Chain A
């Protein structure tokens, strides 16, 4: 397709669905999300500090507000330079994750973008979601891939570290009694659907989506946030659809039997066997991991009933 061979040649070379979809130019998200650190020293690269996502209204540039000013500007410069043609002369909105810096820094970033790249900043806000996943990943204990999105203790220790930086109120001494702030996510615009979706029907929302019903094969769910299906998911579900990183979104179903799962820009086939237990799918790096949903688990437990399908495309 892209390298000038005839379609017939391509078909002969493909011996599996994997090959076919590899050949399609699916834009896998770059290393920009995997990694990131708190201080300039910890940062191997600028990965994670600056990312972007598209919304219905325009482009949003996400910046990690916890990093030092120089590091931030360097990362921003690298980010914009690699997309100069695309961004130059356009309007963007800024979104701060981890911590919203003071106005002076925001001003500086805006001016920097305007002067050097003719990019106009239309607004600045704070968003926490994808920051959360990175926070959890940064704890040493969570170094391995086995990180649960609903982690308790890991998120807790992160919380205290952030508190130490002075951005969140410190819950000293009574930390165990309170629920970690990082474990709570408000989505007042989340959509609840009380119906089964038949083939050909589609629900689209920029926020999270909960469906009390089945999603039949041929139906589609597209959500900017998480997707929770209280039923059987047989169709296609796309969580974190407006964020190339997926924004930490997950897909949950009582019976996960999808045609395709998509989180952010990562696409995966459904697993071969149907699991009889509720399962949750999320992105790890550039693949989607499906595991049996366990309400209290912090780490990925390997048990007989756990199904780890790493069929990724």
Chain B
């Protein structure tokens, strides 16, 4: 399928490499990468999600593809196999492919240059390449950023995560990569009670564009264990949030979801056509 000469005459931009990173571990990078990849695929964009967490791979599990892995990113980087031998097509969407990480190697087994050359081979075939970065700011992070032009910095509304995100943003900016922020696992009730930082607080400290807000949602846990990205569950709030982020990545302008708590009166008010 030659996507370069689109029938509509619209030459869509190919091969945009976006790194999903955070600094802090466990804030939702892999979930975000998988969900955004799936959401972009559902919009018809050929998407490759790359697991750059060498030695601690997770993206394959989240996508339910762990028993289909033959070759991985390290093999491609070391030219042990051909690029298309290593990518695995998703069960749920024809547009979504996975390039898994190696589980038996360590992060310094490949260099930035090797990763750059490896990913360059995929740029002509995919609209978007999402790279799932490992936690930290060392070689693994640097490899993941190797050819990225854009970054999605995932953070939760917690002081420790924000501080790490701030550090990472500084490092990304120094590399000339443009960062946007995704606030993950926000709990509207806690924000309302003043027990949790609000989106405005996060924006105040980090000072970069917020491209999406994802609320805490049990469906995410269920989806991860089932190996199905949460965006396929249309009833999930988190899933919808990720879909919106994917739309924003494609250039659509969708306002950020507000966290105005919907109480009983609010719901009634909406029903009666009044503002909540």
Enumerate chain A interface residues (CB-CB to B < 8 A).
Answer: 196, 198-201, 214, 216-218, 234
Contact = CB atoms under 8 A, between A and B. Distances in A.
Nearest to A198: B170
Contacts of A218: 163, 166-167
Contact of B169 (A198, A217, A234): A198
Interface residues of B, number: 11
Contact of B207 (A196, A200, A217, A234): A196
A218 B159 CA distance: 11
Secondary structure dominating the interface of A: loop
A216 B173 CA distance: 15
Given A200-B166, A201-B170, A214-B207, 8 more contacts: A198-B169, A199-B163, A200-B167, A200-B170, A200-B171, A216-B163, A217-B159, A218-B163
Interface of B: 159, 163-164, 166-167, 169-171, 173, 205, 207
A200 B159 CA distance: 15
Contacts of A198: 166-167, 169-170, 173
A201 B167 CA distance: 8
B61 to A, nearest CB: 31
A84 B170 CA distance: 46
Nearest to B170: A198
B154 to A, nearest CB: 16
Contacts of A199: 163-164, 166-167, 170
A185 to B, nearest CB: 32
B170 A217 contact: no
A218 B206 CA distance: 13
A200 B167 CA distance: 6
Nearest to A218: B163
17 contacts: A196-B207, A198-B167, A198-B169, A198-B173, A199-B164, A199-B166, A200-B167, A200-B170, A200-B171, A201-B170, A214-B207, A216-B166, A216-B205, A217-B205, A218-B163, A218-B167, A234-B205
Nearest to A213: B207
Contacts of B159: 217
A153 to B, nearest CB: 41
Contacts of B163: 199, 216-218
A25 B170 CA distance: 34
A76 to B, nearest CB: 47
Contacts of A196: 207
Contacts of B170: 198-201
A117 B270 CA distance: 87
A234 B163 CA distance: 11
Nearest to B205: A216
A200 B166 CA distance: 8
Which of A196, A200, A214, A234: most chain B CB closer than 10 A? A200
Closest 6 CB pairs of A and B: A198-B170, A199-B166, A199-B167, A200-B167, A198-B166, A199-B163
A1 to B, nearest CB: 27
A202 to B, nearest CB: 11
Nearest to B173: A198
